[in-house]
Structure 1
Amino acid sequence: MIPLQRGPLPEELIARMAARSERIGDHRGGARESWRDARTIRRDLTVHLVAMAAGLSRCMYCGDSEGTSIDHFQPIAMAPQRAFDWFNHLWACAFCNSNQKRDLYPTDRHGEPLLIDPTSDEPADHLDLVLVTGAYRARTAKGRETIRIFGLDRPVLERGRAHAYVRCRSMLRDLARLAEHQEHAEALAVGHALAVQPFADVLYEMLRLRTAPRAALVFGAETVAGLNMLTGPHFAKWGPVGR
């Protein structure tokens, strides 16, 4: 998981959602059916969620698969009045949404959610990513429940992150060499490819650790040089690079 920035919605879309929320109690099928009937609202929300998502419309939970549907972070069954709440909508793949999370929403004894919301939480406060193995390790109860509910410890995800780490290191070395030889167009292409690949959490973690005392020893000097380039103005508009 990486932190994501939730942007504002157009006023007319906010108004349509508010009108739907007001009529939930009058809808024959309740909040869930009202949500299913709101096809144009779902279509318009999808545009904004895809724009928020990492890479090429990646799932905001696993970061691997393409997102396919709007997930209600706090499920409709638990909070029907939040069915049309923009701050309750995230973009998810079918597996994370339908197979893993479903209507699960664990809370602590104070009623606070024990799932990471990447639009309001910093995932790194709750999760450690072991880059070499691709495994997540929980730092908090919220991190532990997030791993469990979304299945972030699935072997296929751990293998994917481990391979992404190898791929990132190689591409970052290429980026540093291309920049050194002033091959700027190809360097920009490599930077863009890095920013839109699946498992943005791997690149995000590398960027986060690039200033650590042993970063050059762990990643290699060229890799760190590539990471530092990605924080510059030419790359700031792409995915986790600009975060």
Structure 2
Amino acid sequence: MIPLQRPPLQPRLAAELARATERIRTDGPNTAGGRAAWRRAVRPKAQLRLMLRQMAPGLERCMYCGDNLGTDIDHFEPIAQAPLRTFDWQNHLLACAHCNSNRKRDRFPRDPATGDGLLVDPCREDPADHLRLYLDSGAYDPLTVRGAATIEVFGLNERPELVRGRRMMFAVVKALLLTWRAAATSAEAAEYAAALREIHHADVLRTVLALRRRRPLALAVLGPDVLDALDRLAGADPGLSA
């Protein structure tokens, strides 16, 4: 997971979502009513999906696993638990079918003492504050209770394809950095930089970029050639600096 920026809604869409919420409130908010209203909302859902696709990592990847194509609008706090948030833009994330329908479903673990949700919202906080990615293994280590809940709900370490994919993507990132450094033309270099921005598992690239702040560790993990390429790229392309 990586932090994401949520753009503001257009006034017309915001007003339409507010009216839909008010109808749910008037009818008496419940799970069935919220789900029925969501099914009927064809036009606003299409607009929301477009906005989520534009803010998703890489090539419209799932905002949770970062691997699969984001196909579903997920209600971060499920309709079953918060029907009045059915049309809340701050409650919408783009998810793959596996994360949304197979893993999360209506799960939303809460702190037993406060009732606050425990899942990490990448639009409200930096997932790196709760999850540490180990590049050599491709596995996540929880730094907080919320990180542990997020790993468990989305199966970030249980799904072998995710762990292996992150490990392999680390090799791809290193290769792209070296290839970028060796590019013969600026156009060729731009192509490799663009490939870095759009890779699957954007969390791998972000972890590599963050290593620049920890020089001894970066040298040990990346090696001198890759670290040199990373420094040069960060200097040449501010969009690829952590």
Provide the TM-score with structure 1 as the length reference: 0.92
% identity of equivalent residues: 46
Match of 2:40 among 29, 37, 40: 37
Offset, 1:209: 1.0
Which runs of 5 or more structure 1 residues have no equivalent in the other structure? none
Match of 2:209 in 1: 207
Letter paired with 2:119: L
Deviations 1:2-31 (A, max 9, x none): 011111111111011001111114569511
Q: Say which SS state the counterpart of residue 133 (structure 2) adopts.
A: strand
Offset, 1:234: 4.1
In the alignment, the residues of structure 2 paired with residue 185 and residue 200 of structure 1 have an alpha-carbon distance, to the nearest angstrom, of 23
Match of 2:160 in 1: 155
In the alignment, the residues of structure 2 paired with residue 130 and residue 105 of structure 1 have an alpha-carbon distance, to the nearest angstrom, of 26
Offset, 1:113: 1.1
Pair 233,171 (structure 1): closer, same or farther in 2 beyond 3 Å: closer
Match of 1:132 in 2: 136
Letter paired with 1:91: L
The correspondence of residues 78-117 of structure 1 with structure 2, limited to 5 A, is 78-108=81-111, 109-117=113-121
In the alignment, the residues of structure 1 paired with residue 238 and residue 49 of structure 2 have an alpha-carbon distance, to the nearest angstrom, of 25
Pair 188,136 (structure 1): closer, same or farther in 2 beyond 3 Å: same
In the alignment, the residues of structure 2 paired with residue 141 and residue 58 of structure 1 have an alpha-carbon distance, to the nearest angstrom, of 25
Q: Say which SS state the counterpart of residue 231 (structure 1) adopts.
A: helix
Match of 1:191 in 2: 193
In the alignment, the residues of structure 2 paired with residue 96 and residue 201 of structure 1 have an alpha-carbon distance, to the nearest angstrom, of 16
Match of 2:173 in 1: 168
In the alignment, the residues of structure 1 paired with residue 241 and residue 54 of structure 2 have an alpha-carbon distance, to the nearest angstrom, of 14
Offset, 1:58: 0.1
Which runs of 5 or more structure 2 residues have no equivalent in the other structure? none
Q: Say which SS state the counterpart of residue 93 (structure 2) adopts.
A: strand
In the alignment, the residues of structure 2 paired with residue 86 and residue 115 of structure 1 have an alpha-carbon distance, to the nearest angstrom, of 17
Offset, 1:54: 0.4
Q: Say which SS state the counterpart of residue 5 (structure 2) adopts.
A: coil
Letter paired with 2:177: L
Q: Aligned pair 1:53/2:56, yes or no?
A: yes
In the alignment, the residues of structure 2 paired with residue 52 and residue 233 of structure 1 have an alpha-carbon distance, to the nearest angstrom, of 24
